[in-house]
Structure 1
Amino acid sequence: MLSVMKTSWPLLLGMLLLMLGNGLQGSLLGVRGSEQGFSSVEMSVVMSAYFAGFLIASRVTPDMIRRVGHVRVFAALGSLVSAALLLFPTFQDPIAWVMGRVVIGFCFCGVYVTAESWLNNSSTNENRGQALSAYMIVQMLGIIIAQGMLVIPDPSGFLLFVIPSVLVSISFAPILLSISPTPAFDSTKRMTLRELYAVSPLGCVGMFLMGSVFAAQFGMAAVYATQSGLRLSQIPLFTASFYVGALIFQYPLGWISDRTDRRILIAVCAAFAGLASIVGMVFGSNYYVLLFAAFMIGGLSNPLYSLLIAYTNDFLEYEDMASASAGLLFVNGTGAIAGPLVVGYAMQVFGPPGYFILLSVVLMLMAGYAVYRMTQRAAPSVDDTNPYHAVLPTASPVTIEVASEWAIETAEAEAEAEAEAQEAGEPGVMEKTG
């Protein structure tokens, strides 16, 4: 990990600044929109627009990079993000905010694709797993730290929009001044949804539901906090609790997933996250219970993204994993667009508790479907499963494909070591580890 930090620290620093800007703008809009009198439904459309832009960019950005290169795409999209952030307090209208969020979602996805391709290019087969871990940690820390900026005094109403704009602008410096030219970006051909569903119905259904859950956390948590009457000083800790839980639970759950039937773990995590949502709904008036509920929901639900990718890969040949992951990313993005819309409607009908009602229903549906799938086919042998790799729902197609490639390389290396050990008459990797 230290070697990765030493060689990639400018890129990781730039990504930390980008995540600070992105994490702040999402929560800030949730708070300011409620203060401006926007309804839950209007705010849900605003928040959903980000994921629509993100999904579009995941398809378009590779072609942009091939036409004009990494540096130009990165600089152009980053500049658009910086400008769009300054327009939100100028045009305090839901339609204008929807358009701005589409632009920001599109641009952030493009920036992620470009930066992550640089990170992949600077990594080797030996340290690629460590680079992915460092990148994930930086992403989560950026979002968590950004929540604390909500309490910065803003008498003019513009300062908190200027801060993320500045953070995004200065993030270019360490990245653009340190990177070297990268090879052309090659996007992976996607599986059709029909093919993907045939391989793993749980992977497809689970990723759609997971997209809804994550978008509700990332887009609507601040809206819920504001409408439920939390003080401004309480909102940052509530929104950050989701991501703190995700950061802490990611690797322990990954370790367990490599040693058990992943469907059991998916069902258990979704069920307990659903129970935590019910706790938040029933005891939402108690701030500390609310923090606990957010921590558990984030910690148990966010790793489901990586778990579902790993589970789907268990039924694929190595050469199909990257294309399947790209398809799962599209399914997840579709669910992310729908998530805030459904949450906003639930909050309009049931009030603020509708936020947790929707989360509990979706998570329990995922748990139930995982249990149902356990009755439809046998689980693969633990020895035949592919390694878990931690990936966040905020990841671009580059990180998804790189993580899949790293898992393939790891599995192939272990298989080769096992074969060589058996030829030499020594205990293999699996025998040594039990």
Structure 2
Amino acid sequence: MSDTRNVIVLIIAVMILQIAGGLISVLTPLGLEAMDTPPQAIGLIAALYAAGFMLGAWISPRALATFGHIRLFAAASAMNAVSVLSLSLVHDALFWAPVRVIMGVSLALSFTSIESWLGSAVPDKSRGNVMGIYHTGAKLSLMIGPFFVAGLSPLDTRAYTWAALFLTLALVPVCLTRREQPVIPERRSMPLKALYQLAPAAVLGALIAGTVNTGTQSLLPIYFESFKLGGGGTGAAAIASAAAWMGGLLLQWPAGRLSDRIERRLVIAGLGAMSALAALFIAIFGTRLSEVSVIIALGVWGAGALSFYSLCVAHAIDRTPKVLIPQVMSGLLFVWAGGSIIGPLLSGFAMRAVGELGLFGLAGILLIALTIIMVLRVRSKPVAIEDKLAEWSPVLPTPLASVKLDPRMSDAPDKAEPETGEDADGEEGPDSPADMEDSPKSKV
């Protein structure tokens, strides 16, 4: 508990930040729809936001080294708050598109600042517990956020004021902390080819996670806007968003613990199959079911779809030398971000082409593909006997800037592993992708 108390201000800041993120995720698609923006254009703007997030993740290490954790977080949160307020002033999709890019960049910078600080401040022996508290708090905030705008018009200025309020409030605990900022670590990138050679199942899983989850959630408020629950509109969208996140929150820890005992890819396949069935159930029978039944099915979808990304990360780290963990974590983030650009575009076109059937129909098809891929990978490449599975901890797709951030590193320090990238025999370790490709652990 003492380790948690040492970083509690950072956890509180992210929870406040994610309340704003949760309500913005509902406001943006509903606001665009209220401006008579077609679904494919809404999907395109969501993809632009994902592209901004990807850009922010790419430039954040250099920005962090230049400005430091507190100043970078303060500037990014301020830019995000200004961007949200500007959305309420100009109701034009052409204006919202570049603003959403700026919001994506700002959020990535904010997360990199907090998570690199959090990772550096938490010792190895308690990282799993602290990161579990951190991610649980973040998900709870994402669930709570939409209820602050329930009942308001999606273009009501008060709704965007709520978001800006929380984005600004998140500055307080960070700017007033008396904790010393950590030393900024260096960050090196890994070619996608080398990452795929290391853990192809993890790469494909991360890509599908970004495509399905971002694509479905970006248009989820539109799908549920006509429901009567919560008074309809933003109220129904808030309930739907909370149901999906609640499903993921309830199943994430049990699924992770199960993956410590059996092949992780089989657990991912099971989660994919469960969420695929729920998605196809909503797509085929959604219009003939009660609203409560659809919400329950959505919770089942969220339990599987919003849980398997962290297992993909765990699967990759099982096969990664410690010196390459930051590159692998960052590489999977970029793969996820790439999927999050494609997902809203595909979902927007699917919804435009076949209506309500398209949104969850597409999700079901992609999740079936995930299940098949994982089963085939297990059959073709069984788990390596020499690879010891580390303890699992939930991971959300957020920017990473430090090896200390990895929640799956062993709690016990290596007795003979120097920090310079040399192995116990004094020879150079696999610090580069080229060296990694020759390592026996590089083949899955």
Aligned to 2:423: none
CA offset digits 1:229-280 (Å, max 9, x no partner): 8722322111111111111111100110000011211111101110010111
Which residue identity does 2:105 align to in structure 1?
F
- 2:392 corresponds in structure 1 to 388
Task: Determine if contact 1:34/1:226 at 8 Å carries over to the other structure.
Answer: no
Question: Residue 420 of structure 1 corresponds to which residue in structure 2?
Answer: none
Which of 324, 327, 331 is matched with 1:323 structurally?
327
Q: Give the corresponding residue for 1:408.
A: 409
Out of 369, 377, 382, the position equivalent to 1:378 is 382
Instruction: Please give the alpha-carbon distance, in whole angstroms, between the structure 1 residues aligned to 2:386 and 2:252.
Output: 20
Q: Give, in angstroms, the shift of residue 301 of structure 1.
A: 1.6
Alignment partner of 1:291 is 2:290? no
Structure 1, residues 59-95: CA drift from partner, whole Å, max 9, x if none?
1011112112222211211111111001112221222
SS of residue paired to 2:367: helix
Name the CA distance, whole Å, in 2 between partners of 1:138 and 1:382.
Answer: 35
Match of 2:242 in 1: 240
Partner of 1:36: 35
**Amino acid in structure 1 at the alignment position of 2:127:** R
Which residue identity is paired with 1:318? K
Matched to 1:19, the amino acid is Q
**Cα distance between partner residues in 2 of 1:135 and 1:408:** 16
Q: Which amino acid aligns with 2:35?
A: Q
Residue 24 of structure 1 aligns with an amino acid whose one-letter code is L
Offset of residue 213 of structure 1: 1.6
Q: 1:37 to 1:240 in 2, by over 3 A?
A: same
- 2:349 aligned residue (327, 345, 349): 345
For 1:248 and 1:296, locate their aligned partners in 2 and report how far apart those are by CA, in whole Å: 10
Verify the 8 A CA contact 2:69 2:181 in the aligned structure 1: yes
Would you say how many aligned residue pairs link Structure 1 and Structure 2? 412
* Structure 2 counterpart of 1:269, one-letter code: L
What's the counterpart of residue 430 of structure 1? none
Equivalence for 2:434 = none
1:126 Cα deviation (Å)?
2.8
Please, which runs of 5 or more residues in structure 1 have no aligned partner? 417-434
User: Alpha-carbon deviations, 1:387-426, whole Å to 9, x = none?
Assistant: 2221113x22147x4453x42333667999xxxxxxxxxx
User: Greater shift after overlay, 179-188 or 87-96?
Assistant: 179-188
Q: Which residue of 1 aligns with 2:49?
A: 50
Contact 2:30/2:221 (<8 A) preserved: yes
Q: Flag the 1:312–1:11 CA change in 2: closer, same or farther, 3 A.
A: closer
**Structure 2 spans left out of the alignment, 5+ residues:** 418-444
- Cα offset for 1:379? 2.0
d(CA) in 1 for partners of 2:345, 2:155: 31
Contact 1:48 1:219 in 2 (8 A): no
Q: Distance in 2 between matches of 1:62 and 1:266?
A: 31
Q: How does 1:241-260 map to 2 (within 5 A)?
A: 241-260=243-262
Question: In the aligned structure 1, how far is the partner of 2:153 from the partner of 2:353?
Answer: 32
CA distance in structure 2 between the partners assigned to 1:47 and 1:337 by the alignment: 7
SS where residue 288 of structure 1 aligns?
helix
Superposed, 1:59-78 pairs within 5 Å as 59-78=58-77
Name the SS for the 2:392 alignment partner.
coil
| 1:30–1:161 Cα change, 3 Å | same
CA–CA distance in structure 2, aligned partners of residues 388 and 205 of structure 1 = 20
Q: Which sits farther off after the overlay, 163-172 or 87-96?
A: 87-96
| Distance of 1:276 and 1:187 partners within structure 2 | 43
Partner in structure 2 of residue 195 of structure 1: 194
